Amino acid sequence: MEWNAATREHIDARLKDKENALAAYAYKSSDAFRFHTESEDIRPNFFHDSDRIIHSYCYSRYIDKTQVFYLVENDHITHRVLHVQLVSKIARTIGRFLNLNEDLIEAISLGHDVGHTPFGHDGERILSEFLQKQNEGIFEHNVQSFRLFHDIEAYGKGLNLTAQVLDGIICHNGEILQNQYGCDRNKTPEKLLEEYKSSLNGTLKSKAMVPMTLEGCVMRISDVIAYIGRDIEDAIILKLVRREDIPRNITEVLGDKNGTIVDTLIKDLVNNSIDKETLSFSPTVFDALNQLKEWNYKNIYLNPKKSSQDAKIKAMFQVVLEECMDELGSSKKVTGINHWFDSMSDAYKNSNSKPRVVADYVSGMTDDFLMNAYKEIVIPKSFGINFAVEK
């Protein structure tokens, strides 16, 4: 069914008025760039991108991807799927107060972490080591998120997301904390593709990338705001830390609960960024946030209790990676990599090395899928009552 002319005219006029009312530094959906021409759609470009992202296969795999804590049986612990929703809500709140493009912010937020491996940043480091040993560049989750939407989804054709959304995704690195966030308004789509290729081979680390939009900057800092206090709440539930362990000089500025920390950081950021072309915190809040991030690393992320299974996890990854390397292109059907690879486009098959294909496949696994693949490889199977049926 087509839109009737009167409805289309009315909607177009309202969307135009909405965009014209945005802040001077906001990025308009009408200025978005796609790498491949498409038929016109009534939905604004960035709003359309959000639809494509949430209907993608890689988005659905968020449901069983680790955020920080893995191998714990507690349904209240944050998984990746909840984290991206929290990032989206925080980023849209900031974007609304600064009168920026919320559709662009939401699309970047929802898609930013699809490139995460099973077992979070630990799996990311293992995959990067694997590629480096094969002389095939490095692995970074934000680069892989870009790669999934641009080169892998839709069976190797990509989803043709706008350059502005892809840029915000690849530049989102939440490990970076800065006292001021600015964007590179002169960055072109061509430059973005150059950065993507350089980040794959390791000549450009994604931490050095700067978003082309202020909305990308909002999402970048929102990633930090979303995890910094939430990870503390999860760690308290798991009895890894106590609330009273957080230094008082930090809690007196930010608070000691996630809700208070989020509220403080959003208000301070907006107070110091409204009607400006950069984002910044006040010196006092930024210093407290930086100290809290360092405290989290020491007491949560690098806590020996959390890493007690890391050697086993690394061994499991290595077994699965080796099996996939051996299996790809053979008649073996243990991990499923050949079924996946056969479904991909000729363009994908012809433009990627064997190690990169294996990295793409394994990084897309959920935690449970990886463990099940490992069990399939190493645990013997019963022959049943006789050898008549092939197992």
Nearest to 251 by CA among 177, 272, 241: 241
pLDDT > 90 in the chain, percent: 73
Neighbours of 136 (CB within 10 A): 20
The structure tokens listed for 123 are: 């799996």
Measure the CA angle with vertex 10, ends 8 and 13; round to 5°. 105
Q: Is 391 helix (H, G, I), strand (E, B) or coil?
A: coil
More confident residue, 211 or 387: 211
More confident residue, 16 or 184: 184
Model pLDDT, residue 266: 98
pLDDT interval class at 229 (50, 70, 90): very high
More confident residue, 40 or 183: 183
Cα distance between residue 86 and residue 223, in whole Å? 9
Cα distance between residue 215 and residue 58, in whole Å? 23
Neighbours of 243 (CB within 10 A): 12
- Residue 23 near residue 98, CB atoms below 8 Å: yes
- Residue 194 near residue 170, CB atoms below 8 Å: no
**Residues 6+ away with beta carbon under 8 Å from 125:** none
Nearest to 167 by CA among 120, 220, 94: 220
Model pLDDT, residue 130: 97
- Residue 306 near residue 297, CB atoms below 8 Å: no
Q: Which amino acid is residue 114, in one-letter code?
A: V
Q: Is residue 71 pLDDT above 70, yes or no?
A: no
288, β-bridge pairs? none
More confident residue, 207 or 50: 50
The continuous run of DSSP H or E covering 86 comes out as helix 80-97
Q: Is 326 helix (H, G, I), strand (E, B) or coil?
A: helix
Cα distance between residue 257 and residue 11, in whole Å? 43
Q: What is the mean pLDDT of residues 343-372?
A: 96
Cα distance between residue 268 and residue 281, in whole Å? 6
Cα distance between residue 137 and residue 379, in whole Å? 32
User: 238-271 pLDDT, tens per residue?
Assistant: 899 999 999 999 999 999 999 999 999 999 999 9
Residues present in the chain in total: 391
- Residue 83 near residue 172, CB atoms below 8 Å: no
Cα distance between residue 21 and residue 61, in whole Å? 37
Q: What is the mean pLDDT of residues 341-348?
A: 96
Question: Which own/partner pairs from 345-353 qualify as long-range (CB within 8 Å, at least 24 positions apart)?
Answer: 345/155, 345/156, 345/157, 347/156, 347/157, 348/151, 348/152, 348/155, 348/156, 349/156, 353/134, 353/136
- Residue 82 near residue 233, CB atoms below 8 Å: no
Q: What is the dihedral of CA 243, 246, 251, 252, to 10 degrees?
A: 120
pLDDT interval class at 141 (50, 70, 90): very high
Cα distance between residue 219 and residue 227, in whole Å? 13
User: 329-338 pLDDT, tens per residue?
Assistant: 898 888 999 9
- Residue 309 near residue 71, CB atoms below 8 Å: yes
pLDDT > 70 in the chain, percent: 95
Residue given tokens 């990746």 in the structure block: 80
pLDDT interval class at 13 (50, 70, 90): confident
User: 364-388 pLDDT, tens per residue?
Assistant: 999 999 999 999 999 887 767 777 6
